[in-house]
Amino acid sequence: MMENVQKDEPVNGFGTACIHSGHIPDPNYAHVTPIYASSTFVFDTAEQGMNRFSGKEKGYIYSRWGNPSFTEAENKIAALETFGLKDDAGNPLRAKALLHASGMAALTTLFISHLKKGDKVLTHPSLYGGTNELLQKIFPSFGVEPVVMDMHDLTKVEEIIKKDTSIRMMYLETPANPTLRCVDLAANIALAKKYHLVSAVDNTFASPYLQQPFRYGTDYVFHSTTKFLNGHGTAVGGVLIGSDIEKMNSAIYKIHNLLGGNSNPFDAFLLANGIKTLEVRMERHCSNAMKVAQFLEQHPAISKVNYPGLQSHPDYAIAQKQMKHPGSMMSFELKDGLEAGKKFIDKLKVCVRAVSLGTCDTLVSHPASMTHYGVPKEQREASGITDGLIRMSVGIENVEDLLNDLDQALQ
Ligand SMILES: *Cc1c(COP(=O)(O)O)cnc(C)c1O
């Protein structure tokens, strides 16, 4: 494994860090870090091999354990998640990222690293569908249970943590799919710290440009890199970032290796290059989204818009407090319900019919029949996912084209 190379670069702007951070000059002087399509790495001597295994000498060994194409993306993400932040001693905060084959693989490393039989995870109802299923259906058979509650009522959160001493981890996702509910990071993470719970935040919808959970002292940040970090919809991937570098390099690295959910050089290459435009993409994503949300909110065919940048959203204040902009994800309901929603989706000409999010193009999907199909109807409706709800990931097209497309599809 290579050292975590977060240098003190002479960089003041986040956009510059997106482009330059994490880059390691290539031994062959390639401008862009190449795709290191190699499963294994050569030792000059037996002794060198031994030294790499024992950690005496830094260097790559085998691509399940690390690869130069991964290192670039990992260092970039660690630099962005800690950009401008300080540790308790006032020094620049550092973190270590481990790239995975998918967001779900990174989550599995996180949960297996910290939870054993009898432990519980405190979380909230509006989680990503896959995370919810993993916690509800897979981990209980290993003796790990979720405790699901509305984490807006902090007095109740504290009561539950005090009462149930088997709660070991607090797991937050904000903003969350598809109603864009947000939870207060500062307040909840402070409670996790007070009661010595491990805390982790799914920062996929925000990206480090809009929100940095390490600012509030969380232990881990998680991303499905498939979304805004890659930004172009070209690769599935995930990343787990930890601020305890020692632990990331030992215990967490070990579990990551043994579970085998490693990334691959091509996807990591696409990711590292996608990240270079993160700031400019996010600015455009967010300014488009605000205009789209305002257009939809005043449209007579629409009954409700869920966008944390609108004052009508229940978590408007939380989003204002902890996000640079309210993001580019939203959902809305047509007055005439499911049938009207299907007709609307079919009439779209610029917006694309697909699940996933964070791509350059605008994606439209139907949560009840697609992403949340596996969630029972009552549970779905309790968290605001009605049959008529439509989700939209607003892209970076020229906004007039999006507004015109939505307008003609709503006729
Ligand atoms: C997509 C997504 C995941 C899962 O990531 P994969 O890359 O699909 O495995 C987890 N959380 C959120 C918020 C997501 O959008």
> Residue 91 maps to which CATH number?
3.40.640.10
Tell me the average confidence (pLDDT) per consecutive run of 10 residues in the chain, 411 residues long.
54 93 94 97 96 93 96 97 94 97 98 98 92 96 97 98 98 94 98 98 98 98 98 98 97 97 98 98 98 98 96 98 98 89 94 95 90 79 84 98 97 91
Of 302, 304, 329, 320, whose CA–CA distance to 384 is shortest? 304
Residue 177's pLDDT is: 84
Q: Which of 275, 295, 323 is a domain's end point?
A: 275
Do the domain assignments include residue 23?
yes
The answer to the question of residue 337 being in a domain is yes
- Residues 298, 250 within the same domain: no
Residue 8: the pLDDT is: 58
Distance separating alpha carbons of residues 38 and 22, to the nearest angstrom: 21
Burial 188-224 (b: 16+ CB within 10 A, else e): bbebbeeeebbbbbbbbbbbbbbbbbbbbbbbbbbbb
User: Which atom of ligand 1 is closest in space to residue 176's alpha carbon?
Assistant: 13
Distances (CA, A) of 80 to 11, 235, 327: 12, 20, 17
Domain assignment present for residue 6? The answer is: no
CA 337 – ligand 1 centroid, Å: 27
391 and 335 in a common domain: yes
Give the distance (Å) from ligand 1 centre to CA of residue 54.
35
Helix, coil or strand: residue 213? helix
Locate 306 and state its tokens: 């869920």
Nearest CA to ligand 1 atom 5: 103
Å from CA of 284 to ligand 1 middle: 22
Looking at residue 341, which CATH number applies to its domain? 3.90.1150.10
Q: For residue 137, count CB atoms less than 10 angstroms from its CB and return exposed for 0-12, middle for 13-18, buried for 19 or more.
A: exposed
User: Would you state the pLDDT for residue 10?
Assistant: 64
180: left (phi over 0), alpha (psi -120 to 50) or beta: left
Domain around 151:
14-275
Nearest CA owner, ligand 1 atom 7: 103
Same domain, 394 and 324: yes
User: Ligand 1 centroid to 227 CA: how many Å?
Assistant: 8
Pocket test for ligand 1, best of 77, 99, 104, 263 (most atoms within 8 A of CB): 104
* 276 C-alpha to ligand 1 centroid (Å): 21
Please choose from 224, 263, 328 the residue to mutate so as to test ligand 1's pocket, defined by most ligand atoms within 8 A of CB.
Answer: 224
Q: How far is the CA of 103 from the centre of ligand 1 (A)?
A: 5
Q: Is residue 7 part of a domain?
A: no
Are 218 and 330 found together in one domain? no
pLDDT in the model for residue 6: 56
Residues touching ligand 1 (Cβ under 6 Å) are 102-104, 128, 130-131, 173, 177, 202, 204-205, 224, 226-227, 236, 238
Domain count, the chain: 2
Strand order in the sheet with 363-365: 302-306, 329-334, 389-393, 363-365, 352-353
Cα 143 to ligand 1 centroid, rounded to whole Å: 24
Same domain? For 28 and 40 the reply is yes
In terms of Cβ atoms closer than 10 Å to its own Cβ (0-12, 13-18, 19+), residue 342 is: middle
Which residue puts its alpha carbon closest to atom 6 of ligand 1?
Answer: 103
Tell me how far apart the alpha carbons of residues 364 and 284 are, in angstroms, rounded to a whole number.
18
- The whole-number pLDDT of residue 377 equals 83
